Structure 1
Amino acid sequence: MGEEYRAKVFKSGNSVALRLPKALGIKEGTEMRVREEAGRFVVEPAEAPARKISLDGIWGAIPWLKPLSPEEREFEERELDWEGKLLKRD
């Protein structure tokens, strides 16, 4: 078992809060998950949601760029010649 710390619960608005010691290394803004197990509380970092790339900021900068139609996404299989070696797809 690691270090042991003591902390007091305090009122914050209509909730109660627990201030965690800086020595734990938890960064400000980290989302935590809290659950109760057999009368004890378990606190652990929440998994970060998968990040998505947004092209909203550049959408108008390249007006000729548009999504491909299903027909445009199809391609013909072909043999590839990498470094003089002919490769076939099975």
Structure 2
Amino acid sequence: MSEEYRAKVFKSGNSVALRLPKALGLKDGDEMMIVREDRAGFKVEPIEAPRRKIDLTGIWGSMPEARPFTPEEREFDDPPRDWHLLDPDYKP
């Protein structure tokens, strides 16, 4: 079931703006797509924000000891584990 809200159009500079109720859950800065439909009026939908990328330029080079692993360093030995130390009832 859909809910109905009233919104008011008002003058904002040389444009008009549509004030939407807070109950819709929108935040300041949210972007909306407005589509004018034939004779039906308008459709207003939120636009998903693009995924943010992490900017590492500020920390690049701050850890000179950090370097990619060589293929030899990527391999590791898998020593046997003493499971009986974790669970005294363990039976192999």
Superposition TM-score, scaled by structure 2 size: 0.61
For structure 2, the residue ranges without an aligned partner over 5 or more in a row are 72-76, 81-92
Sequence identity percentage: 64
Bigger Cα Rg = 2
Once the two structures are superposed, the pairs formed by residues 1-90 of structure 1 within 5 Å of their partners are 1-39=1-39, 40-63=41-64
**How many residues matched?**
76
RMSD of the alignment, in Å? 2.9
Superposition TM-score, scaled by structure 1 size: 0.62
Whole-angstrom CA distance in 1 between matches of 2:23 and 2:6: 12
Instruction: Describe the shift of the 1:83–1:48 C-alpha distance in structure 2 as closer, same or farther (beyond 3 A).
Output: farther
Whole-angstrom CA distance in 2 between matches of 1:82 and 1:61: 33
Q: Which of the two has greater strand per residue?
A: 1
Q: Deviations over 1:56-90 (max 9, x none)?
A: 11024135668x8xxxxxx6xxxxx8799xxxxxx
